[in-house]
């Protein structure tokens, strides 16, 4: 037998033996047919009986397509307008004092009757909020239930029933290394439309504090992920492999403002506590120890004789609050609250927030002398911020002016300047409120170009009186069709009409 043939036979024999050993080793373990991701089923925190989702079995083969198909209908685009300083100069319009700038972000529906979760920074200072669903429905009568700066969470309410919604999972049960999807619907109204984006990654870390919330009582307990979170995705859900929300996408850490592999989400367990308070009380009730703390480092651990590098070191006390009254001292290290270990500042925040103001808890501390001690105290209530309500919308919309525009008669001088044919009748638009429903849908009036409304809901318009009668009975939620004549000195004298459909917003 040749050496080549002998070598080939040896390789075949080795493969057969390895296959047989593999079968023998596999059989006793009774390996299930579904993937590991489908074997755990974290309980839902809300009533989501209409949102039963497949367990995402065989993710390795089919990807996350089934989960994405179930979740994306509940992910929404949130468009807002925020006030900016009024324009100054010789070219002003009747609406200059109401100038606003647009912004957008994402959110997701959590109940069939229209509660929507997003980030506080998406809707902060907004004077107008509208929500666009993935099926094209637009809600401009959006109620801001409340928002919490200390956790970057906000809750909106749509007046609707039977909406698609997402089930909530458990961020506490989430483990580093778990697969996740970051879902968003950035919109970008002023540019390219990007409705619903889905990216995949894993949970990179938990309990991250990145010092981005500029609030004295801020709670930073972020889930870190390498799933791409780009501008406009803030407020969208972070989804686990079971199709459940485990976080609200909130921020990235980047040296250039673009995604570099560090994304952060507010854990859903914290979000749920916040939104339940917002619904019940209109604000967030938070228990308070009355301490300022920092993380314990290796030098602290050796100095205090700790068993490990962990704990929260007290560097400030608020007089009259529970910690100071219970003889906690500056320099003490808090190692446990109510029997739960405190390894980080986020742990301390997480444990305290489980309690209500007035609850009594036991706090384990290590003194500077190395002595172990335990104090019992009643938690105080954190200061309640002023009720957060949306300012009156400055969108130029009133009962008498539901479209937020100013119109005037077509004078002979205007007809000549704008090249309007003699047989074109209507009213000329002289001002458009920057946050009104027609802003960005019509050309901005100028000396050389102003749109002419020739019909409202197919009814011909020949004068301002005709126009005012046509819009008199419009109500919030109505849809009006306008027929427009575009004017410009260089355009043809042939009439061109452009139908414009506009939903009437709330006053």
Contact present, 233 and 195 (Cβ < 8 Å): no
Query: Which helix (H) or strand (E) segment is 52 a member of?
Result: none
| β-bridge partners, 199 | 182
Active site residue ranges: 121, 152, 234
Neighbouring CB atoms inside 10 A of 312's CB total 26
| β-bridge partners, 130 | 79
348 phi/psi in degrees, rounded to 5: -60, -45
Strand, helix or coil at 254?
coil
d(CA 374, CA 365): 6
Residue 117: CB partners within 8 Å, gap ≥ 6? 107, 108, 110, 153, 154, 155, 156, 235, 237, 248, 271, 275
CA angle 100, 106, 109 (to 5 degrees): 120
Strand, helix or coil at 471?
helix
Contact present, 327 and 303 (Cβ < 8 Å): no
d(CA 76, CA 64): 19
By the 10 Å C-beta count (0-12 exposed, 13-18 middle, 19+ buried), 255 is classed as exposed
By the 10 Å C-beta count (0-12 exposed, 13-18 middle, 19+ buried), 146 is classed as buried
Token code pair at residue 433:
């409120």
Question: Across the chain, which distance is largest between two alpha carbons, in Å?
Answer: 109
389: which DSSP letter?
A: -
168: which DSSP letter?
A: B
> Can you give 47-65 as a three-state secondary structure string?
CCHHHCCCCCCCHHHHCCH
d(CA 48, CA 36): 24
Residue 304: CB partners within 8 Å, gap ≥ 6? 296, 333, 366, 368, 370
- Residue whose tokens read 């458009």: 432
d(CA 161, CA 185): 21
Contact present, 252 and 262 (Cβ < 8 Å): yes
């Amino acid at each position: 037998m040749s050496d080549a043939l002998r070598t080939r036979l040896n390789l075949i024999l080795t493969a057969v033996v390895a296959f047989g050993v593999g079968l023998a080793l596999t059989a006793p373990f009774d390996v299930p047919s579904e993937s590991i991701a489908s074997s755990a089923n974290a309980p839902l925190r809300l009533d989501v009986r209409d949102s039963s989702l497949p367990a995402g079995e065989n993710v390795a083969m089919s990807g996350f397509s089934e989960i994405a198909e179930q979740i994306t209908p509940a992910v929404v685009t949130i468009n807002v307008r925020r006030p900016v300083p009024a324009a100054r100069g010789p070219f002003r319009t009747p609406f200059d004092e109401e100038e606003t700038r647009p912004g957008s972000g994402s959110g997701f529906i959590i109940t069939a009757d229209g509660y929507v979760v997003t980030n506080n920074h998406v809707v902060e200072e907004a004077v107008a909020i509208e929500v666009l669903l993935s099926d094209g429905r637009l809600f401009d009568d959006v109620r801001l239930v409340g928002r919490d700066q200390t956790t970057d969470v906000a809750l909106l309410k749509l007046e609707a029933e039977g909406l698609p919604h997402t089930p909530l999972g458990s961020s506490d049960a989430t483990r580093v290394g778990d697969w996740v999807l970051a879902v968003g619907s950035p919109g970008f109204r002023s540019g390219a439309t990007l409705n619903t984006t889905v990216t995949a990654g894993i949970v990179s870390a938990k309990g991250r504090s990145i010092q981005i919330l500029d609030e004295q009582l801020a709670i930073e307990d972020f889930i870190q992920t390498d799933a791409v979170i780009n501008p406009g995705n803030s407020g969208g859900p972070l989804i686990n492999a079971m199709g459940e929300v485990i976080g609200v996408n909130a921020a990235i850490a980047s040296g250039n403002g673009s995604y570099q592999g560090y994304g952060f989400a507010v854990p859903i367990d914290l979000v749920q506590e916040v939104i339940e308070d917002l619904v019940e009380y209109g604000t967030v009730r938070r228990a308070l120890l009355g301490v300022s703390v920092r993380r314990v480092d290796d030098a602290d651990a050796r100095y205090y004789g700790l068993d490990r590098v962990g704990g929260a070191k007290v560097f400030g006390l608020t007089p009259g609050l529970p910690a100071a009254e219970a003889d906690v001292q500056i320099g003490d290290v808090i190692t446990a609250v109510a029997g739960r270990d405190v390894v980080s500042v986020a742990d301390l925040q997480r444990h305290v927030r489980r309690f209500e103001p007035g609850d009594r808890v036991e706090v384990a501390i290590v003194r500077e002398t190395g002595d172990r001690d335990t104090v019992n105290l009643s938690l105080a209530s954190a200061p309640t911020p002023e009720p957060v309500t949306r300012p009156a919308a400055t969108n130029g919309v009133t009962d008498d002016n539901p479209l937020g525009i100013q119109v005037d008669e077509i004078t002979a001088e205007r007809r000549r300047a704008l090249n309007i044919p003699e047989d074109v009748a209507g009213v000329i638009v002289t001002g458009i409120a920057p946050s009104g429903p027609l802003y960005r849908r019509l050309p901005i009036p100028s000396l050389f170009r102003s749109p002419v409304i020739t019909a409202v809901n197919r009814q011909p318009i020949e004068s301002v009186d005709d126009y005012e009668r046509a819009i008199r009975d419009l109500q919030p939620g109505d849809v009006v069709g306008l027929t427009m004549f575009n004017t410009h000195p260089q355009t043809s004298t042939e009439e061109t009409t452009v139908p414009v459909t506009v939903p009437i917003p709330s006053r």
